Amino acid sequence: MLVFVINCGSSSIKYQLFDMPEKRVLARGVLERIGETGSAVLTHRAGDGKWNFEVDAPDHRAGLDFILRTLTTGETGVIKDLSEIKAVGHRVVHGGESIREAVVIDADVEAVIARCAELAPVHNPPNLMGIRTARDVLPACVQVAVFDTAFHHTLPKKAYLYALPLELYEQHGIRKYGFHGTSHEYVAVEAAARLGRPLSACNLITCHLGNGCSMTAIEGGRSVDTSMGMTPLQGLMMGTRSGDLDPAVLVHLLRNGWVADAAELDRLLNRKSGLAGISGIGNDMRTLEENMDANPRALLAVEMFCHRVRFYLGGYLALLGTCDAIVFTGGIGENDHIARAVVLSGLEALGITLDADVNEAMIRGRTGAITTPDSRIPAFVIPTDEEGMIASRTYDLAK
Residue 38's domain is classified under what CATH number? 3.30.420.40
Tens of pLDDT, residue by residue over 286-342, are 999 999 999 999 999 999 999 999 999 999 999 999 999 999 999 999 999 999 999
Coil, helix or strand for 312?
A: helix
363 confidence band (pLDDT: 50, 70, 90): confident
Question: How far apart, in whole angstroms, are the C-alpha atoms of residue 23 and residue 310?
Answer: 35
Query: How would you label 144-168 residue by residue, b for 16+ Cβ within 10 Å and e otherwise?
Result: bbbbbbbbbbbbeeebbeeeeeeee
Residue 10 CA to its chain's centroid (Å): 16
pLDDT at 30 over 80: yes
Burial of 172 (0-12, 13-18, 19+ CB in 10 A): exposed
Alpha-carbon dihedral 234, 145, 225, 338, rounded to 10 degrees: -60
Residue 353 CA to its chain's centroid (Å): 28
In sequence order, what are the residues at sequence separation of 6 or more whose Cβ sits closer than 8 angstroms to the Cβ of residue 323?
Answer: 203, 204, 205, 316, 317, 351, 377
Q: Are residues 27 and 108 in the same domain?
A: yes
108 catalytically annotated: no
pLDDT of residue 224: 98
Does residue 280 form part of some domain?
yes
| Catalytic residue, candidates 148, 225, 336, 385 | 148
Q: Are residues 288 and 364 in the same domain?
A: yes
Q: Are residues 227 and 323 in the same domain?
A: yes
Arithmetic mean of pLDDT, 353-382: 95
Cβ 99 vs Cβ 112: under 8 Å: yes
Beta bridge mates, 214: 208
Question: How far apart, in whole angstroms, are the C-alpha atoms of residue 143 and residue 3?
Answer: 10
Question: How far apart, in whole angstroms, are the C-alpha atoms of residue 170 and residue 247?
Answer: 21
Q: How many CB atoms lie within 10 A of CB 11?
A: 16
Does residue 188 form part of some domain?
no
Q: Are residues 31 and 96 in the same domain?
A: yes
Q: Are residues 31 and 134 in the same domain?
A: yes
* Phi, psi angle pair for 280, to nearest 5°: 75, 0
Tens of pLDDT, residue by residue over 117-162, are 988 887 899 999 999 999 999 999 999 999 999 999 999 999 999 9
Q: Are residues 122 and 236 in the same domain?
A: no
Does residue 164 form part of some domain?
no
Nearest to 217 by CA among 166, 173, 282, 151: 151
Cβ 204 vs Cβ 165: under 8 Å: no
Q: Are residues 279 and 370 in the same domain?
A: yes
Does residue 398 form part of some domain?
no
Domain containing 24 equals 2-147
250 confidence band (pLDDT: 50, 70, 90): very high
Cβ 40 vs Cβ 56: under 8 Å: yes
Q: Are residues 58 and 124 in the same domain?
A: yes
39 confidence band (pLDDT: 50, 70, 90): confident
Tens of pLDDT, residue by residue over 175-222, are 999 999 999 999 999 999 999 999 999 999 999 999 999 999 999 999
Does residue 225 form part of some domain?
yes
pLDDT at 38 over 90: no
Q: Are residues 216 and 98 in the same domain?
A: no
Question: How far apart, in whole angstroms, are the C-alpha atoms of residue 181 and residue 151?
Answer: 5
Q: Are residues 243 and 344 in the same domain?
A: yes
pLDDT of residue 366: 87
Does residue 236 form part of some domain?
yes
Question: How far apart, in whole angstroms, are the C-alpha atoms of residue 347 and residue 349?
Answer: 5
In the 8-state DSSP scheme, what is residue 79? -
Nearest to 334 by CA among 372, 303, 367: 367
Q: Are residues 277 and 375 in the same domain?
A: yes
Arithmetic mean of pLDDT, 16-20: 98
* Phi, psi angle pair for 384, to nearest 5°: -75, 160
Burial of 345 (0-12, 13-18, 19+ CB in 10 A): middle
pLDDT of residue 10: 78
Whole-prediction pTM value?
0.93
Work out the mean pLDDT of the chain and round it to a whole number.
95
- Residues 144, 134, 18, 215, CA torsion sign: negative
Tens of pLDDT, residue by residue over 47-60, are 999 999 999 999 88
Alpha-carbon dihedral 89, 90, 96, 97, rounded to 10 degrees: 0
Coil, helix or strand for 395?
A: helix
Q: Are residues 213 and 98 in the same domain?
A: no
Number of domains in the chain: 2
pLDDT at 9 over 90: no
Does residue 155 form part of some domain?
no
Beta bridge mates, 206: 216, 327
pLDDT of residue 318: 98
Cβ 183 vs Cβ 384: under 8 Å: yes
Cβ 59 vs Cβ 114: under 8 Å: no
**Could you tell me the strand order of the sheet in which 49-55 lies?**
49-55, 40-46, 24-32, 12-19, 2-8, 85-92, 142-147, 103-104
Question: How far apart, in whole angstroms, are the C-alpha atoms of residue 144 and residue 190?
Answer: 23
Tens of pLDDT, residue by residue over 56-72, are 999 888 999 999 999 99
Does residue 160 form part of some domain?
no
